[in-house]
């Protein structure tokens, strides 16, 4: 295949199970606060005490995986505070989703640039500490620019509201389908650039799971879907840290890897940059035409997709 290789019926079935599990667990934790607290608070505390000290540390003291997991869990719990407490009524608190989203994108932008600096123009190498095959090139810089555009197109965070439904989802009406597609293309390119060996699982399947939830289950809650599925996956990956090692029993079921083709890297980065640059131009156009500040007001409130989000969450 063009982007990935190493398919067997066992690991294809595993990929389907992983995708289904992410979608199902996101739906359960979205609907039931008790389930969310159990999975995103009490379970991580137990794992942090009894499991992760043995499984999470890579190489000689690299704690990055567990730091990433804790930050993902902090996002979930922060969003729960907005959803279930009076904090959600404080306007300044609505900066939290924007800040955590922008920081996470900025971290990946930095990583793309770092990979370019360390690996571009050199033979591709296997990084033994991370267990990743590294190929630096212009695609890293292209996707870094796309990530900057993506941050600039985060609009209307003061318009975040709580759905008037039983699930009390955190709804971001201005974060419409075209921003979701831009984010998915950028994050997919980042994963393919920087964690290519695991890009099928930490990239493609993870992004598909929260996009399915957004487009087909509950509109307007993409960032919440993304936080839940990301936290679920990072918890799995630090608990079973050798899941991508084909020499382990678990690794044999997670052996779909990147094809490592430069053409694939060029295509994913080009799509990311083109779509995100186009979205930035569209945002500027809408802002000028509507005379709205995209960072203090909802910019896309005149679009049908915006009204559909409000209607599906009983907010109109």
- How far apart, in whole angstroms, are the C-alpha atoms of residue 257 and residue 88? 41
pLDDT in tens, 59-104: 444 566 777 888 899 999 999 999 999 998 999 999 999 999 999 9
DSSP state of 256: -
- How far apart, in whole angstroms, are the C-alpha atoms of residue 66 and residue 222? 24
- How far apart, in whole angstroms, are the C-alpha atoms of residue 252 and residue 91? 48
Query: Mean pLDDT across the stretch 167-187?
Result: 98
Tokens of 204: 């493609």
β-pair partners for 171: 161
CA-nearest of 225, 180, 238, 186 to 62 is 238
pLDDT at residue 125, as a whole number: 83
- How far apart, in whole angstroms, are the C-alpha atoms of residue 290 and residue 294? 10
CA-nearest of 158, 156, 143, 177 to 312 is 177
What percent of the chain has a predicted confidence (pLDDT) above 90?
80
pLDDT at residue 142, as a whole number: 98
pLDDT at residue 60, as a whole number: 42
Model confidence, pTM: 0.95
Who's near 147: CB < 8 A, 6+ residues apart? 105, 106, 108, 109, 112, 186, 190, 276
- HSE-CB of 182 using CA atoms within 13 angstroms: 27
What percent of the chain has a predicted confidence (pLDDT) above 70?
96
Contact between 286 and 132 under an 8 Å Cβ cutoff? The reply is: no
Consecutive H or E run containing 170:
strand 170-171
pLDDT at residue 61, as a whole number: 45
């Amino acid at each position: 295949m063009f982007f990935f290789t190493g398919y067997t019926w066992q690991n294809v079935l595993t990929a389907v199970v992983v995708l289904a599990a992410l979608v199902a667990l996101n739906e359960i934790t979205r609907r039931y606060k008790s389930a969310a607290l159990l999975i995103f608070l009490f379970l991580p505390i137990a794992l942090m005490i009894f499991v992760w000290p043995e499984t999470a540390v890579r190489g000689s003291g690299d704690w990055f995986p567990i730091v990433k997991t804790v930050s993902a869990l902090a996002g979930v719990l922060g969003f729960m505070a907005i959803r279930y407490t009076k904090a959600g009524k404080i306007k300044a608190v609505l900066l939290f989703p924007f800040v955590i989203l922008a920081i996470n994108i900025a971290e990946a932008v930095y990583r793309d640039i770092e990979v370019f600096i360390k690996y571009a123009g050199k033979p591709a190498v296997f990084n033994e500490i991370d267990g990743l095959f590294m190929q630096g090139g212009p695609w890293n810089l292209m996707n870094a620019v796309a990530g900057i555009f993506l941050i600039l197109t985060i609009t209307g965070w003061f318009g975040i509201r709580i759905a008037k439904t039983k699930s009390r989802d955190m709804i971001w009406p201005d974060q419409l389908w075209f921003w979701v597609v831009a984010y998915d293309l950028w994050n997919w390119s980042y994963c393919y650039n920087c964690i290519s060996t695991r890009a099928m699982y930490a990239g493609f399947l993870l992004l598909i799971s929260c996009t399915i939830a957004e487009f087909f289950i509950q509109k307007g809650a993409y960032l919440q879907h993304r936080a839940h599925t990301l936290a679920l996956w990072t918890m799995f990956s630090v608990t079973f840290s050798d899941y991508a090692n084909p020499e382990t029993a678990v690794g044999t079921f997670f052996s779909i890897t990147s094809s490592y083709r430069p053409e694939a890297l060029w295509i994913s980065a080009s799509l990311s940059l083109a779509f995100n640059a186009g979205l930035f131009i569209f945002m500027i156009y809408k802002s000028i035409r509507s005379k709205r500040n995209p960072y203090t007001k909802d910019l896309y409130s005149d679009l049908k997709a915006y009204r559909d989000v409000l209607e599906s969450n009983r907010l109109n």
